[in-house]
Structure 1
Amino acid sequence: MMTSSLSTNRKDDHLRYALDQQKTRKINSFDDIRFVHHSLGRLPIDQIDLSTHWAGKKHSLPFYINAMTGGSPKTKAYNQQLAQVAAATGLTMAVGSISAALKDPQVADSFTIIRQMNPHGFVLANLGAHHDLENAKRAVDLIQADALQIHLNTAQEIVMPEGDRDFSNWKDNIQKIVEDLGLPVIVKEVGFGMSQETLEELIELGVQTVDLGGRGGTNFVQIENQRNDQLDFSSLANWGQTSVEALLESLTYQEQINVLASGGIRDFLDMIKALALGAKSCGIAGKFLHSVDQLGVEATVEWVNDWSSALKRTLLLLSCQSIEDLRKTDLVISGESYHWAKVRQLDVQALAQRNQKSEHL
């Protein structure tokens, strides 16, 4: 069993290495997507609506603060700042894994601070899939959560020196939590993307919302490998599906399950692309962490407001009145994302002609 001091050190390691990864802008899969520009505009900006609906609630903005941190005194300060940003902007906020607080009540305040700072916001608790229904209820109760994220992190666990090596109870745990928790459940990848096959299995378990968590953002294989002095897993640094590949994998299932996108959302345009590929909302973690670390709460709130304004103007550019209308825009997929889609027999050709088809419906 992991000691409380080891858990605290691990949480602080995650925080430090995640911040290090934010120091450089990365080229990622969203660069493989282009919109077809149509020159005649159709809408006034006051008709643009950025709201979206997922996990049983209408959200005023199509992005949220995704799970990242908690479990140590140092991470408490970051969760406090992130919760203040969420309260000021109305953003939904997910916490890092509450597992540490279930094991060690002394670090519970690194999570409960979120509800103290943001008493009326929409907050997601977070636990790994190895936890049962009882622990899920404890996690939700601890922060008075409105929903629960169950994270899937097999690649991270494999590389983590003290990680789990038995995933045999995951599906049973997910199904029982979905059936009996009494709150919305979001199953979330931590950065390695979901496949069609994974989505099929989750739908069979009754899951209604997933966060695809594609490769391109915070890389937990790299983080855990930096902590691992036994084996070198650097060869797995590019493991999994990118965010765009995961979104393409999800296209067939978006009528059956709500899709959220995360992993490498660098700016408002990446977000627009993810929403156009069917995401209901976009989760952002490392960028928020970096912003409150370097700029503070007030400047981060300004950044959120700037992104909201840029999103609205970009919807105007695309003649889209709502987030849902983005799914009618014409997209051209290129590069490695196109190659992935062709090999996986995903119909990307249809994406380039959606506007024309919708005009004749």
Structure 2
Amino acid sequence: MSADRDAERRHDRKEDHVRLATMQWEPAQGDGPAARGNEFDDLDFVHHAMDAVALEPVDPATRMFNRDAAWPFYINGMTGGTAHTGRINQQLAIAARETGLAMGCGSVSIALDDPDAAPGFRIIRRENPDGLVMANIGVGRSADDARRAVDLLGADALQVHINAVQETVMPEGSPRFGDWLSGIEAIVAASPVPVLVKEVGFGLSPRTLHRLADVGVRFADVSGRGGTDFLRIENDRRPGGDYGYLTGFGQSAPACLLDAASLDADSRPTLFASGGVRNPLDVLKALALGAEAVGVAGAFLSTVVEVGAEGLIELIGSWQRHTRELMALLGAPDLEGLRGTDLLIRGRLGEYARLRGIDAGAYARRRES
């Protein structure tokens, strides 16, 4: 295949990803993430009517990559590499700058192979010169590629995404998984900035987190099932759509966070969470289960595509207000307080907890201790 044809196919794939991901989050999509339930709906906070605290001292600040972050949710990696997706990145970066959120980008691998795609990523730092920005590459890229990706964005951290399910279903996928762990180890050793390893929507198990920690990974995004479905996206791109039977594969973010609690905090990476986060209540549930910060992609992408940066700024401002107000309602003046709230684990998530030997009842009685 010629270099020009290969670049054209990568361009088309990026455009397909945005189009199909946005369609999943349209309100009219009866089976999309915004409409269907996910396992965040299997979590309920126990309401203690006299536990609410005053709003003024509530502080939702967290730590991201050992630096202070004013808000515990961020704009997760989505896209980039074409003129259209570059404009989306510009709008996302403006919203991040105006609201003080950290921001990740989509995979910059396309720009590492085709310099003409680089402006669609550089625009992020140009629009947001002082914000916390994360570059993004796929597992399987070299340590030198990792350094180039960081340099391209002037990034403060690097996301390395692992996507075995997506590569399996992707028409042009490369399911060569055997050297992924050693490749991650090399990237961590060579990267000039902290590395966060993330799934793309199918979850990280305790076994995986333990293996990542063994090769030096200090930050991991469990990125579970329930949000933008890359299995479905790639299957929709396949002639015949012959992998539809895999729908629902993997674990949700709440399931991964519950499972990760079985690992000693000193022997696993610091946990971030994403996948199916639709509103501030989902953010608080992930934080209450132990996430340090929560990534939001689909809900923000659909907004920025529809109404641009100004509309996304308004939406993020609403999420920020609601985050503080809900923390006050729950009697949690800070994130540590959230981790002591009582949580009811029901439905499919409760069944998962039972089968994995997780004491769901202990989460319902945390305030007692």
**TM-score range, shorter-chain basis?**
over 0.9
**What pairs up with 1:19-168 in 2 under 5 angstroms?**
19-24=22-27, 25-41=35-51, 43-168=53-178
CA distance in 2, matches of 1:275, 1:254: 18
Q: Does 1:276 align with 2:288?
A: yes
- Aligned identity (percent) is 43
TM-score, reference length from structure 1: 0.96
CA distance in 2, matches of 1:296, 1:182: 33
CA distance in 2, matches of 1:68, 1:74: 13
**What pairs up with 1:1-361 in 2 under 5 angstroms?**
3-24=6-27, 25-41=35-51, 43-229=53-239, 232-253=242-263, 255-256=265-266, 257-357=269-369
**Matched residue of 1:69: which SS?**
coil
Unaligned runs of 5+ in 1: none
Pair 231,21 (structure 1): closer, same or farther in 2 beyond 3 Å: closer
**CA deviations over 1:142-168 (Å, ceiling 9, x no partner):** 110000000010000000011112111
Aligned-pair distance for 1:268?
0.7
Alignment-mate amino acid for residue 350 of structure 2:
Y
CA distance in 1, matches of 2:264, 2:194: 17
CA distance in 1, matches of 2:281, 2:361: 21
Aligned-pair distance for 1:229?
1.1
CA distance in 1, matches of 2:45, 2:255: 17
CA distance in 2, matches of 1:175, 1:351: 35
**CA deviations over 1:115-158 (Å, ceiling 9, x no partner):** 11111110000011101110000000011000000001000000
CA distance in 2, matches of 1:301, 1:346: 39
Aligned-pair distance for 1:40?
1.1
CA distance in 1, matches of 2:351, 2:53: 35
Deviates more, 1:295-304 or 1:216-225: 295-304
Contact 2:147 2:192 (C-alpha < 8 Å) held by counterparts: no
**Matched residue of 1:150: which SS?**
strand
Pair 45,163 (structure 1): closer, same or farther in 2 beyond 3 Å: same
CA distance in 2, matches of 1:124, 1:46: 31
Alignment-mate amino acid for residue 167 of structure 2:
E
Contact 1:54 1:258 (C-alpha < 8 Å) held by counterparts: no
CA distance in 2, matches of 1:87, 1:300: 12
**Matched residue of 1:191: which SS?**
coil
**Matched residue of 2:353: which SS?**
helix
Aligned-pair distance for 1:231?
5.7
CA distance in 2, matches of 1:254, 1:136: 29
Alignment-mate amino acid for residue 290 of structure 2:
G
Aligned-pair distance for 1:225?
0.6
**CA deviations over 1:183-216 (Å, ceiling 9, x no partner):** 1110000000111111111111111111110001
Q: Tell me how many residue pairs correspond in the alignment.
A: 357
Contact 1:65 1:93 (C-alpha < 8 Å) held by counterparts: yes
Contact 1:262 1:283 (C-alpha < 8 Å) held by counterparts: yes
Contact 2:135 2:153 (C-alpha < 8 Å) held by counterparts: yes
Unaligned runs of 5+ in 2: 28-34
Contact 2:147 2:190 (C-alpha < 8 Å) held by counterparts: no
Alignment-mate amino acid for residue 26 of structure 1:
R
TM-score, reference length from structure 2: 0.94
**Matched residue of 1:253: which SS?**
coil
Aligned-pair distance for 1:303?
1.2
CA distance in 2, matches of 1:165, 1:43: 51
CA distance in 2, matches of 1:130, 1:279: 26
Aligned-pair distance for 1:328?
0.5
